[in-house]
Structure 1
Amino acid sequence: MPKRTFVIVGAVLGVALIYSSGAEQRESEAEGAGGSGEQAACTVTVTADVLNVRSGPGTGHDVVGKYREDAEVEATTEVRDGFRRVGDGRWASDEFLEPVDGARCG
């Protein structure tokens, strides 16, 4: 492969990493802005060192982001196949999401 291809791929991966590292703030802002008929939101804390966010409820779906341990995330009450919806097309394993005190996560 030419050197130029490696540089381009590296740049794209770098931008993707930077984008996903700020996912907690973006999700919080997006959920708070209302939505397109989403279920009620609840605040959860991530208990895993790094938690993959997937495009659907299951490990067979693509990873579309990551959360770090102790991140507070706005999620919905919808849980499917052990995964909680944390946004449009964004799901995380409910096993590693702990509702904060007073949160109504269903």
Structure 2
Amino acid sequence: MLGLPKRTLIVIAVLVGVIVLYVIGSNKQAGNANNASPTTPAANASQCRVTVTADVLKVRAAPDVKSAQVGSYKQKAEVDAEKVTQNGFRKLSEGHWVSNDFVKPIAGRDCG
């Protein structure tokens, strides 16, 4: 087939498959980075977004230091957040809370 050894065809097929998976993965990451946020500049400016000021910021399942840790962010990470604060914690999304002492609203964003 095509005058190439079977082994060469298998290597080429595997490489093509890896490239396809890489491209698909890159597209998904780009889509997830937006977190389904609005794409118009006016809409983005009204959404709360914060910067992490701690070296490592733990994400909790509820607004309580004793709540289970469900993730973490490194310093200077930018994260979409909600205006909701409770018990000294800011809500990022359902089941994701961070200490409000270690996040700073980004200038021009409405974080209430």
TM-score clears 0.5? yes
In structure 2, the gaps of 5 or more residues are: 1-30, 39-45
* 1:64 counterpart = 2:70: yes
Mind listing any 5+ residue stretches in structure 1 that lack a counterpart? 1-24, 34-39
- After the TM superposition, list the runs of 4 or more consecutive aligned residues in structure 1 that deviate by more than 2 angstroms: 25-28
The change in CA–CA distance for 1:91 and 1:27 in structure 2 (over 3 A counts) is farther
Residue 58 to residue 28, structure 1, CA distance change in 2 (3 Å) = farther
Establish whether residue 98 from structure 1 lines up as the match of residue 101 from structure 2. no
From 50, 53, 64, the equivalent of 1:47 is 53
1:26 positional shift: 4.8
Q: Which has the higher strand share?
A: 1
Which structure's CA Rg is the greater one? Answer: 2
- Which residue of structure 2 aligns with residue 76 of structure 1? 82
The verdict on how the C-alpha distance between 1:87 and 1:28 changes in structure 2, with shifts beyond 3 A counting, is farther
Matched-pair contact (CA < 8 Å) for 1:41–1:105: yes
TM-score when normalising by structure 2: 0.61
After superposition, the CA RMSD in angstroms is: 2.0
Q: How many residues align?
A: 75
Counterparts in 2 of 1:84 and 1:59: CA distance versus 1, 3 Å: same
Cα distance in 1 for partners of 2:103, 2:35 equals 19
Q: Assess if the C-alpha contact under 8 Å between 1:28 and 1:74 holds in 2.
A: no
- The answer to whether the Cα contact below 8 Å between 1:42 and 1:76 also exists between their aligned partners in 2 is yes
Q: In the alignment, residue 66 of structure 1 is paired with which amino acid?
A: S
